[in-house]
Structures are given as structure tokens and as C-alpha cells.
Amino acid sequence: MSARKPVLVVVLCLVLAGCTSPDLEVSDEVVQQPEDGLVCNGLAVLCDRSYDNVTFPETHNAFATHEDGIYYPASNHRTGLDAQWGAGIRAFMLDTHYMDTSEPNPNGVRFCHGNGDGTISPCVYGSVGAVAWLNDLKLHMANAPSDVVTLLIENYVQADDLVHVLDEVGLMGDAYVHTLNEPWPTLRELVEQNHRLVLFWEQASDANHPYFHDFLTFGWTTDYAEESKEEMDCVPYRGDGFQPVYHMNNWLSGPLGLSSPNNAEETNDPAFLAERATECIQMHGKRPTFIAVDWWEDGDVVAAALAVNQLELDP
């Protein structure tokens, strides 16, 4: 991520020079190095911040990429997990479906873009093998042992089958279980406890599977898929607005409500993202936990998240 320093400097200059409130400054923590030299998710200072006080760059429908054989209008990005990870993205939205809805089983779990309400599986528009994708994620996590990763899953398969898939690639042992309304641990604690994977899903909590946190109970989101960036705001749209974990959704809709690549460079511009994140900070008193984008290759969501993570917030 060192190659992004020039972009980050530009973003920070914009943040401090007038895009955002003048009372927000670069945190003194940023220049302090921990004695053990640990660096979490790109910054040493993040290790001793609680999970909910870190801003993670996130890809919406991370698997729905041209590189993975899913093309527009079903796609949301051009390049897949390897490129996303290499750029510094550590949070990923995924949709799980059965390839064959007539024979649901763990071997048929795929990542496909679409809801499960129709008679035709959305996987007919393109699918990615869940085991293969998650196995790649596991390999990347092994090579970055001080990074914390988040998956937000729009799930349309049985919980046991989803567990089977995660277990098959060896990720279930990394899953963290959070107690509602308790303080979130620091990234350092998650690393030291070997629970570097935080899982959310968009369905009700299940006592038999406590590692799948219902995002609308444990967090909230802003609105999404607006028609212009001027419509984007920081108002809670879904979920519990009193929870500290939240998504700043940041993508536009195109024709028929599909993801629009036409304005992605503008909406993913790091200065715009940093400015919008600062508005959310001013409204809610804390950083957005996630900045979620489509067409991540346009603009620079990673640089924007780094800039937001370096802002000093009032206690």
C-alpha cells in the first residue's frame, strides 16, 4: 500500500484544507509506533483502536467482476479478489445462492448477484464458486497475519451449508463472535485471539450460529443506489441507528436500478469520499466502519479510508 502515499497526501491536503470541518485534524496517534511494531490494516495506530472505530474500504458484490466471468449488467467491478486485496480492501459484500435450487446442498453454494425471490436462480447470469473464492481469501489472510477482514453476506442458503463452505476452507476457526451492545474489541485483540474474520449476514440472528451477526441488529446502513451523488447522505436507512458499526454505502444506480459504472470515477473520488465520510462523522460522532463502493478501480476508496482513519476525532 506504500505506492498509494502520493494519493493519500493529496487526499489529506484536501481534507485539511477545506473539504471538511477545520476542527478535524490528522491524529497525533498516526506518528506513534507501537513497541512491538505491529501494523494492522495498513496503519500501526489502528491496532489499538476498536473495530467500530476503524474505517474499512469495502467492495459491494465483490465477486461480481469481469475477471470472474460476470459481465455488465450483472457485474459490479472489473477485477476480482486478488486485485482488490492487493489494493488494500479488507471488507467484502457477498451474495450466496444455490446453483441448483431444486437440490440445495453445500456443494452447490455459489456467489451470484441477485435476490432469491424469483423462480430462476440469479446464478444463471454468472456465478463464482464459493469454496474457490474463500480459499483465495484464506491464502491472502495467511500472508497478512495482522489484518482483520469482514464479510457481509446476503445469504440465500441454509446456515449449516454456509458453515460447511467456510469450514471447508478453514475460515470458521477465524470467526469472531460479538455480544450485542458490548464494546467491540481492538484490532490487536482480534489478531492476538486469532479471530480476524468478522461475519455479518442480512438475516435474523441464529443462536445456533452466533458468528453470523445480523447486520441490521448489530449495525446499520445509509441508503444506496441513488441516482446522483448529490442525493447521498448519512441518515440511517436500514438497521439499528444506535449501533456504532455502520456502512456508508456509496454507489449509484443506472438503468433498471442496476449498478452504474458511468459515474464511478466521480463518486469514488477520494476527496468526495473523505468529504462525505466527514459529514457522517459530524452527524454521528464516529467514523463510518465501512465505505462500500462499486467499480472500485475508479477513484480510490482505499486512499479515502486511510485518510479518514488518520483524522483526529473529538472524544
When pLDDT is cut at 50, 70 and 90, the band that residue 257 belongs to is confident
| 27-80 confidence digits (pLDDT tens) | 555 545 566 789 999 999 999 999 999 999 999 999 999 999 998 888 999 999
**Which percentage of the chain shows pLDDT scores above 90?**
76
Average pLDDT in the 116-136 region? 85
Q: According to the model, what pLDDT value does residue 4 have?
A: 36
Q: According to the model, what pLDDT value does residue 2 have?
A: 34
**Residues 137 and 171: beta-carbon distance below 8 Å:** yes
Report the candidate in 253, 267, 202, 246 with the shortest Cα–Cα distance to residue 225. 253
Mean pLDDT of the chain: 89
Residue with the bigger pLDDT between 21 and 230: it is: 230
The secondary structure element, H or E, covering residue 192 is helix 187-192
Sequence-ordered strand ranges (E) for the chain: 25-26, 56-59, 91-98, 109-111, 128-129, 149-155, 197-201, 212-214, 220-221, 238-239, 246-249, 290-293, 311-312
**Residues 24 and 278: beta-carbon distance below 8 Å:** yes
pTM over 0.75: yes
Residue 3, pLDDT above cutoff 70? no
Cell 441518515 sits on residue: 235
Q: Cell for 44?
A: 500501526
For 184, phi and psi rounded to 5 degrees? -75, 145
The residues, ordered by sequence, that sit 6+ positions from 93 with a Cβ below 8 Å of its Cβ are 58, 59, 60, 61, 62, 151, 152, 153, 154, 292
When pLDDT is cut at 50, 70 and 90, the band that residue 162 belongs to is very high
When pLDDT is cut at 50, 70 and 90, the band that residue 15 belongs to is very low
Domain boundaries, the chain: 2-312
Residue 18, pLDDT above cutoff 70? no
Q: Cell for 95?
A: 451474495
Give the CATH H-level superfamily of domain 2-312. Phosphatidylinositol (PI) phosphodiesterase (3.20.20.190)
CA-CA-CA-CA torsion sign (34, 37, 42, 47)? negative
Q: Cell for 215?
A: 447486520
| 164-189 confidence digits (pLDDT tens) | 999 999 999 999 999 999 999 999 99
